[in-house]
Structure 1
């Protein structure tokens, strides 16, 4: 399946946390779909709760949309942990890792052995040599993993992220169920324990192909286009903000200058009035003195 290549700058922006401005670490997304590092959003939540004295929820740092945490509302310390992982961002990280692959077996490197890799496990995200690949297929835990040759990866980079998705809570289980009520994929154990009271729980068919679907690829491309549009809009808004700041500063300067002119004019009027008063006072005093002299004579 052919895919559209992304601009490097656009992909770097998508993989950047808007709080720390660094590459995502353990990305978590909010209901408004804004994504942040787990530590960043945790720190933000703690600051928000202490500032607003709100134990019911918080607002998104970007769009200010209200976020409520249902069953975990009593303990803000675990709110960030309860947020879902952004598998799309993680998949893009995986794709970057494939592009930087040096074609050495990652399993052999753990033993300080440099062995040429011939395949790639899409679940473990590791390069494997011929021997390690055979062992990988024999282990019960990894027997169902999707393994591709490096040639297949070079033909289609999206195949690198098309492996079976594992459950967040049970790493030895694969995602087979999707809870519509919580908007979260899970394994059969989670569905039995945590989602048994949910009304809408559906079975995911062909779970191994979720990430490689045309819908996912189209969504990524659409997301990049929307992000480009939003970035341009934000730049335009920022320009308007700067213009308003400049206009405000100009008005402040005009007010200060006008104030200064008014004060100078008032001082001039005060000086003229005092001089006229002094002259009149002197004339009146002279007249009164002459009368006293005449009367005395």
Structure 2
């Protein structure tokens, strides 16, 4: 192997190594192929569109939710119907396309280096003309000098800019004299770009002058005084015109990309607001449904009319709000589609490597620039509308207020419940005796917080109440212990007609009634039997207990309250237990995973 060939092989090996490293970065982690139609996940990693559909289909069949990013393994809340809303990674797609082009050319060159020199001799006996006797690709171009039926071109002279068959090369391009320094090589597809452009008005003249006023390539006859129709027009040197056109197109491309990004961000925000309203509406409906079922079970009144009226109003609020958001989304999608088309046109013109090729398309540039400016003005005018839509919180607030609003409407229709609310109640902070010193007389105090120790649950008993009373307690996570709040017995708040021990959980004995949290559900519990009231979504949550004493027993009322929704659920139980005629002991059970906080004043 000659020294030149060895150098060529070393360069090819170096290029192969570079492409190998680049290919690793441009390979999809799922199909292990170059990215095809890549989409950007919320964690900023990319994946082929088909691969994403395949993974989601597989997880749906396995009844699994979400998606684990194949690159960073982060769990993403992804549904199949949201795939179309993921942004397309245009930059990555363009890089893959350029990489494939460059790799193809490099492989072609490296393949040519491995062809023995004697193969050149098989092509032509005139091997002296073989500057690069390699044919990397099949070219169907005809010889430019053949008379009659043209033969297929086998050579291309870069100085003459002419395609030759072997016969015409031997006859008209001998490798001697001034032609000895011409560079011959195998023809390629891009050689057509170097062909001269002829004037449209003077077909025999080469167009080598650029008219800036008409944005067209013309010949010297077109600018002659009294002859050409471009006389007196502003003329630019080809390279200057090409540079200005390229700079204008690049600026337009950047402007389109920026506006496209802005619209994409706006669309994402609008979709988030739409999803927020949808989720709030769904959650409000669920809580209203729970309150409705509870009131029906606790009383015998009919609440369907009140419920349907409020749910209908909520639906109208959601529909009206989402209609505005959807209208803006549709407008953004139309503008985005238009900008994508113009962006592709810019890219197509910018992909033209040759000066004449780009300048010949100059007439198509002004409409793109004009339409881009129109869209830019439209986008600027719509900013205030977008800000108003995203800042408008009235639908969300109105939906949130629906739960307590529904309760107020139900109270006005139910005389039994409203009559009870007229009674006088004493708001108290229960006085609790410390359970740490059994057998000793320990004074009862107003505790600020109740927590257990070790890994067991503890029940605290307060001073008995004999009159109509109410008390509240907030249940929070115990930061000093780690545990799942969705499993096991978490806490209990209620009353007991007898004094329980510190190990008697609320609601588990015959004389104990209360609200307990077990397995992630809030339940009314008595003698170990649980009646589910609602799910416990998260902590903290406040529980208010209200007791009304009469001759038949006690009316046990409860209210659940959260910081974001306010009152979540109201309910009442009539306990016909004669042992409560003389009073009841407030009782509290806490596990190691929670703590109970009492108000500092009432």
TM-score (norm: length of structure 1): 0.36
| Higher radius of gyration, 1 or 2 | 2
TM-score (norm: length of structure 2): 0.19
Indicate the structure with greater strand content: 2
Indicate the structure with greater helix content: 1
